[in-house]
Chain A
């Protein structure tokens, strides 16, 4: 029935959830007043859109291809959230947005994100169906399609935030050669060095999840980050405990999973 070797991982997961919700609740009630530090990469999102506005060029956005796992990759969701943010900024500034997509099932979801972004900006008429473009369901065909759009449409800014694997450099290098401002973000270590080498700003790993909290300064969202830090502290305590036990020849992992 219950997989007993997963007791401690389950307890850890529950502690993370409780810490997150507790942090959010305490902040909402005013008991805690956390703040988020300045993140240049998130500031760069608005800066990139403003740059495109001044140049009169469109903005390009893609969530990447995700190693062929499509909508199963976790990095996709924050990528779509940031797409909505960028759509809001583009609608506010009344500049076109080109969203390139490598999965058919992503099209309606991205469409909804762009549409909602337009509504939130107070300019729902800005939305056009041609802002959302499907390229190809094969990774390098998709990458080359994106490069083709970047070279033909010459956007003022290009965003590659979400799931990025092997297609990272294929998309970002030609854009960098054209002097396009690029903001990217991914949660995979394999693509990270390529993005850092070729993009102007990179949202590294968990920074991608911070964007809506950073913009809205919503108490619940900011407070949940305090809870997240508490959860990370719990993990650190376990690490130190494991280290101390390892010095005495005991394996904390074996102890915990046999409980």
Chain B
């Protein structure tokens, strides 16, 4: 029985059916189809919700194993398990709309996330320092244009130097940037459509 359920043809068939319903829903407004599409999406949402529990169980199991074997940073694993239990208990007891839960999210989680996000800017500087080398004419033009766009659009310095800089930066964004962006997005969407077709008919798989 499990062999029949896991059989590739049935899985592909179900996937193809769901894909057709979702695609048709975009082009037609028929009550039955839009209800079915919403139901399929809600199934996905329910699976996502259960997956959060699955993820939590996997994490706890992994870190309990580390604590038991005193392997790696097992002391941080203890801290992780305590944090999971505390926040989970607060969420269940006081609900997600409570002041204390939101205080934890805004003052602890948000602060930590913002701190890590701030690393992106610093890492961008080190990555640029390490890798941007003006080895040929193309790279030189790229650097010059990027500098003009940064100075003209991202920061107010451009206006202080000359009004030509922000005007030129805007021209670059309005014409070459839009043309290249649109072309690449359209090409990528065409390839993605072809990939989806191959996936749905079962021909796309790894090597």
Chain A interface (Cβ < 8 Å from any Cβ of B): 1-3, 6, 10, 13, 16-17, 20-21, 24, 70-72, 74, 77-78, 81-85, 87-88, 103-107, 113, 116-117, 120, 133-141, 143-144, 148, 152, 166, 169-170, 172-173, 176, 187, 189, 194, 196-198, 205-206, 209, 211-212, 215-216, 218, 220-221, 224-225, 227-228, 231-232, 235
Contact = CB atoms under 8 A, between A and B. Distances in A.
B203 A206 contact: no
Given A21-B197, A134-B58, A169-B123, A2 B188 contact: no
B204 interface: yes
Contacts of B112: 140-141
Given A6-B27, A220-B198, 18 more contacts: A1-B30, A6-B26, A24-B203, A77-B195, A77-B199, A82-B206, A104-B54, A107-B51, A120-B207, A140-B117, A144-B116, A170-B119, A194-B120, A198-B123, A212-B206, A220-B203, A227-B194, A235-B186
Contacts, number: 174
Contact of B207 (A88, A135, A172, A173): A88
A224 B198 contact: yes
Contacts of B203: 24, 218, 220-221
A81 B204 CA distance: 8
Nearest to B186: A235
A152 B116 CA distance: 19
A134 B50 CA distance: 14
B173 interface: no
Given A1-B29, A235-B186, A228 B55 contact: no
Contact of B132 (A107, A148, A197, A206): A197
A23 B150 CA distance: 44
B206 A84 contact: yes
Contacts of A106: 51
B162 interface: no
Contacts of A197: 124, 127-128, 130-132
Interface of B: 26-30, 44, 47-48, 50-56, 58-59, 62, 72-73, 109, 112-113, 116-117, 119-120, 123-124, 126-128, 130-132, 181, 184, 186-188, 190-195, 197-199, 203-207
A189 B181 CA distance: 9
A56 B56 CA distance: 32
Nearest to B109: A138
17 contacts: A6-B26, A13-B193, A16-B194, A77-B195, A82-B206, A104-B51, A105-B47, A107-B55, A138-B109, A138-B113, A141-B113, A169-B123, A196-B131, A211-B207, A224-B197, A231-B193, A232-B190
Contact of B190 (A173, A216, A231): A231
Contacts of B190: 16, 228, 231-232, 235
Contacts of A136: 55, 59
A21 B48 CA distance: 33
A209 B192 contact: yes
A15 to B, nearest CB: 10
Contacts of B199: 77
A216 B198 CA distance: 14
Nearest to B59: A134
A105 B207 CA distance: 24
B30 A228 contact: no
Contacts of A21: 197
Nearest to B184: A205
Nearest to A140: B116
A139 B197 CA distance: 31
A209 B203 CA distance: 13
A221 B198 contact: yes
A197 B142 CA distance: 14
A173 B193 contact: no
Contacts of B131: 196-198
A153 B84 CA distance: 25
A93 B47 CA distance: 35
